Every structure is written in structure tokens, then in C-alpha cells.
Amino acid sequence: MAVTFEILHKDIAGRIGKLKAGERQIKTPALLPVVNPHLQIIPPAEMKKMGVEGIITNAYIFSKSKEFREQAETRGLHDVLGFDGLIMTDSGSFQMMVYGGVDITNEETLGFQKKIGSDIWVPLDIPTLPDEPREDVISQMDITWERMKQAKEIFGKDAPLACPVQGAVFGDLRKKAGERAAELGYTYCPIGAVVPLMEAYRYRELVDVIIDAKKGLSPGACVHLFGAGHPSMFALAAACGCDVFDSAAYALYAKDGRYITPSGTLHLDEMTELPCACPVCRSHTAEELKKSPDRQKLLAQHNLAVTLAEISRVRAAIAEGTLFELVDERCRAHPKLLDGYRRFLERMPEIAKFDCSSKRRFFYRGSESCLRPEVSRYHEMVSRIELSSDVLIAAGGPVPSRFAEVAEFKPPFGPIPYELAETWPAGPAEVPTWDEEMVAYGIKGLKMLLAENPKTHVTISTTARWEETFRREFPEADVFI
Ligand code: GUN
Ligand code: ZN
């Protein structure tokens, strides 16, 4: 019955994993589309054919529905929804809080979720909204914690329970919530109440919230980002360590006539082309789709297809070791995503602890690439190399044969002594024509190496473009072009 999570590959803090709940299993990162039993715009059986392995639905809606409550209690959720994959149920506490009062207890909702045969149950947590005062957040978190203890006592330690991690935008509280989840032995942990951050494009704070929660959680816990369903942010959230996403965006946006792309959302009415490879877009022109009587359903199918494709792309990037490039690409789509990405780079020293990818690609994509962990790790590594007494640093200029030792200068890494020439990352990295920023990082690496080799005589061979820079930075060295 228990929920288990096995990590198969890692890249940055992103992981490819296998999530098992009872007999059911899904690959992660995963998207669980939100299914509302009353408006199944895409029936779950059809979603399954599109590659959906798991869905999420709202237990509160089932419990309040004349039509569905009894059916779910007698036939079970999987039969009622016509879906034999993984079904997670949410207690609906977030929706109850946003749309009205709570008239159900923790024990009642969990008992109901168990009764209808849900694979993962969510207790009645209290979502802590971003702009609430700290004292309120603390007392709300305490209630959630009590309910998580109660859930284990009533349903046993192996019950398939999710443990929401709250704490609003207070880093220490998010971390504490993560620690409490870990202490109670929870392995499936959704990060809660982040919808308002995402709706307001507060990606910078979202990155902080995820990283802070992860600091408290057990590294082996499966992390779900509650309510995250826009594909433009999957790569960034996965790189911060999120494994599962859920969203109603595919359906909500379709209702509003909005067309999702991996880099943003367009209004169908303003489109002249359908730039996508999904079956809907290949079998309709933009005009046909606008006028179709099935427009909303077709748009939902497209929206879900591109969302699922992005999840596959994120999994592929983690498996190949190219998640950094994907994050960099996606986060250029909106200035607020770029803000989130820059925050992620600022917090790289903390994130890099989770990172142990061995096969990795390093394509220099602009100044942000200088902040990748490979660069700082290389600088530490290169400073441990012992140089001979007379070394040529080949920084783009001629390489005369009279030097016993030659080290290529390759920014943003810096010098590549022959010991490191073939090794990851400096050797295989692909860099374009140098820019100021990367050269500054390369110089930092060269200074670190020279500081540890004070007796070495250094000659730098460069080009007219960088001569002045090297003369200024290395007054002790012979510089020629
Ligand atoms: N859906 C989106 N956010 C939340 C949350 O904080 N808690 C629960 N239970 N569901 C959510
Ligand atoms: Zn499409």
C-alpha cells in the first residue's frame, strides 16, 4: 500500500524516478492532469491513450456530489472515472479555502479517499498563502502537522498519504515543514499554496520556496508542486527538485480560448497558424479551429498534448544531462521566468549539493552559464594542479614550441593544464567567441591556479582583442600577441 519512490537518474537537483503507490507505478517527472468528474472535457480513458499515467481529482467534489458519491463508494474511483492508472485525490482544502468554508474533518476526508480506492490521499492541510503574517502561518502549520500525525495514527504507517509542505514565503518555515514531513516518515510531499505565486508570476519566490522546502525534506522524498501546470516552468521546477506536477491549466485555458505553448500562452483568436505537431494542430488550420463546434475540447487536447510533451522533454534532458540547457532556454520566454532562473543560479551553491550528473553537456549560452556549478567546481579543481617552472597560457595567440608546458585558456573555466584537457567539463565544453563575462570567469580560474604556483614563470599568448585585459590582470606575466 505504501508510496515508494526510486530515483534512477539525476541532473542538477532534477531526478528521473519511479513512483509506486500500491500496485500502480508512474515515471517521474510526471504530470497528473486534474479531472473534474462533472466536466470531463477529455475523458480519462482518452488521456491514457495520450500517455497519461496518473491523474488527480478532488475528493471533496466527489463527496458532495449526489451523482458521484455513491458510485465512487460502491464501484471505486478507477471504475467511475474509467481510468486504471494512478489516481491521486486531493482533500480539496485549497479550493475550500479559496471558495468558501471547510465542512469536513481530516479523518472524514481521509476515510472517504480510502473508501473510494484512491492511490494517494491528501489530508486536510491548511494552505498558507504567500502574504499572510508569519504568526498565522506558524499556527496554521502546526495544525497541518497535528493532522499529519493523526493521519499516521489512524491509517497506519504504510497508508498512501501525501504530506503537504506549507510555510508561505518564509524560508525557515518551509524548511521546518520539510523537516517535520521527514521526521514523520513521509515520502510523498507536495509543496502547497504556491498557486498564488505562480498566478502572479512570482517565480523568484517560487524558486526560494522549493529550495527551502527541499532543504528540510528527505532527499529520497518524491516532491509534488501543487497546482503547477504551465509547461514553461517545468524545466526550472524540475531542476530545483520537483518530481510531480498537477494542473487544470489545459482545461481552464481551453475554456478561455487560450493556446498553450512550451514558452507561453497565446489567444487562439489572435493566431493565424498552429505551430505545433499534435494531431489537433496538424489536422486543422487556425481558422478551422476557431470556428469548430468542438473548439474547447480540441484546444484542451492540444494544451494537454504540449504539456505532456514538455514533461517528456524534461525527462529526456535529465537522462541526457542537458537539463541546464533546457532551463536556460525556457526561462528566456518571460522576464519573470528569467528572474526565477537568476535566483536559481544565485542559490546554486545550495542546489549543487544535490547534483551528481556524470554525463553532462556544457553549451555556453550567455553570461548565466558562468554561474553553472561546473565552473566553480572546475576553479577549485584547477587550483590543486602543480605547474612546472615555465608555462605558456595559450589564450588565443600563437604557441611557440619553446615552452615545456602549455595550458590552453578556455573561458569561463580558465586554464586547462594537460592533466585536465580531456576531462569533463572544460575539455568537452562548447564555447562561442569570447565575451567579457566569460573571460572574467576564466581569469578568475587562472588567478586561482597561479596563486597556488607562485614560483612558476607565466607567459600569456593572446590576441589584440584581449592583450590589454591580460596585461592589466596579470602584471607579473609576459604577455604577447
Ligand atoms: N492545491 C493547490 N495548493 C494546495 C495546497 O496547498 N493544499 C492542497 N491540499 N491542495 C492544493
Ligand atoms: Zn497542437
What's residue 237's pLDDT? 98
CB atoms near residue 173 (< 10 Å): 22
User: Where does residue 225 fall: left (phi above 0), alpha (psi -120 to 50 degrees), or beta otherwise?
Assistant: beta
The residue annotated as part of the active site, out of 11, 79, 84, 90, is 90
The residue among 4, 40, 17, 234 whose CA lies nearest residue 119 is 4
What's residue 359's pLDDT? 65
- For residues 14 and 318, give the distance between their C-alpha atoms in angstroms, rounded to a whole number: 7
Q: Quick check: 216 and 176 in contact, CB under 8 A?
A: yes
In tens digits, the chain (481 residues) has pLDDT values of 689 999 999 999 999 999 999 999 999 999 999 999 999 999 999 999 999 999 999 999 999 999 999 999 999 999 999 999 999 999 989 888 877 777 899 999 999 999 999 999 999 999 999 999 999 999 999 999 999 999 999 999 999 999 999 999 999 999 999 999 999 999 999 999 999 999 999 999 999 999 999 999 999 999 999 999 899 999 999 999 999 999 899 999 999 999 999 999 999 999 999 999 999 999 999 999 999 999 999 999 999 999 999 999 999 999 999 999 999 999 999 999 999 999 999 999 999 887 776 667 899 999 999 999 999 999 999 999 999 999 999 999 999 999 989 999 999 999 999 888 888 899 999 999 999 999 999 999 999 999 999 999 999 999 999 999 999 999 999 999 9
- For residues 242 and 222, give the distance between their C-alpha atoms in angstroms, rounded to a whole number: 8
Query: Which ligand is nearest to the Cα of residue 166, counting in written order?
Result: 1
- The closest residue, in CA terms, to atom 6 on ligand 1 is 192
Query: Which ligand is nearest to the Cα of residue 279, counting in written order?
Result: 2
Q: Quick check: 392 and 417 in contact, CB under 8 A?
A: no
- Phi, psi for residue 264 in degrees, rounded to 5: 160, -170
Sign of CA pseudo-dihedral 379, 383, 384, 386? positive
Q: Cα 467 from chain centroid? A: 42
- For residues 83 and 45, give the distance between their C-alpha atoms in angstroms, rounded to a whole number: 5
Q: Quick check: 455 and 474 in contact, CB under 8 A?
A: no
Q: Quick check: 480 and 397 in contact, CB under 8 A?
A: yes
Supply 456's cell numbers: 612558476
Longest dimension (CA), the chain: 89
- The closest residue, in CA terms, to atom 8 on ligand 1 is 94
Q: How far is the CA of 37 from the centre of ligand 1 (A)?
A: 18
Which residues, listed in sequence order, are joined to residue 222 by a DSSP beta bridge? Answer: 188
Which one of 90, 230, 252 would you pick to mutate in the ligand 1 pocket, going by the greatest count of ligand atoms within 8 A of its CB?
A: 90
Whether the ω angle into residue 160 lies within 30 degrees of 0, i.e. cis, is: no
**Cα dist. 190→215, 272, 360 in Å?**
14, 39, 29
Q: Quick check: 455 and 389 in contact, CB under 8 A?
A: yes
| First vs last C-alpha separation in the chain | 70
Task: Could you list the beta-strand ranges (E) of 62-113.
Answer: 86-90
Which residues, listed in sequence order, are joined to residue 6 by a DSSP beta bridge? Answer: 18
Task: Calculate ∠ Cα 43-47-53, nearest 5°.
Answer: 130
What's residue 357's pLDDT? 66
Q: Please tell me the total number of residues recorded for the chain in this structure.
A: 481
- For residues 10 and 183, give the distance between their C-alpha atoms in angstroms, rounded to a whole number: 24
- For residues 408 and 274, give the distance between their C-alpha atoms in angstroms, rounded to a whole number: 48
What's residue 297's pLDDT? 98
Supply 431's cell numbers: 564555447
The pTM assigned to this predicted structure is: 0.95
Q: How far is the CA of 296 from the centre of ligand 1 (A)?
A: 26
Q: Is 294 annotated as catalytic?
A: no
Q: How far is the CA of 42 from the centre of ligand 2 (A)?
A: 15
The residue among 149, 93, 95 whose CA lies nearest residue 122 is 93
Question: Which residue segments constitute the domains of the chain, with CATH numbers given?
Answer: 3-354 (3.20.20.105), 367-480 (3.40.50.10630)
Q: How far is the CA of 278 from the centre of ligand 2 (A)?
A: 4
- The closest residue, in CA terms, to atom 10 on ligand 1 is 94
Specify the residue for cell string 487560450: 258
CB atoms near residue 424 (< 10 Å): 17
Q: Quick check: 481 and 449 in contact, CB under 8 A?
A: no
The residues, ordered by sequence, that sit 6+ positions from 149 with a Cβ below 8 Å of its Cβ are 184
**Cα dist. 252→34, 104, 261, 292 in Å?**
10, 26, 15, 18
Strands 478-480 and 14-21, sheet pairing:
unpaired
The residue among 437, 475, 31 whose CA lies nearest residue 224 is 31
Helix (H, G, I), strand (E, B) or coil at 77: helix
Q: Name every protein residue with a CB atom under 6 angstroms from any ligand 1 atom.
A: 90-91, 93-94, 122, 125, 127, 164, 192-193, 195, 226-227
- The closest residue, in CA terms, to atom 5 on ligand 1 is 192
DSSP 430: B
- The closest residue, in CA terms, to atom 9 on ligand 1 is 93
The full 3-state SS of 114-173, as one line of letters, equals: HHCCCCEECCCCCCCCCCCCHHHHHHHHHHHHHHHHHHHHHHCCCCCECCCECCCCCHHH
- For residues 291 and 301, give the distance between their C-alpha atoms in angstroms, rounded to a whole number: 16
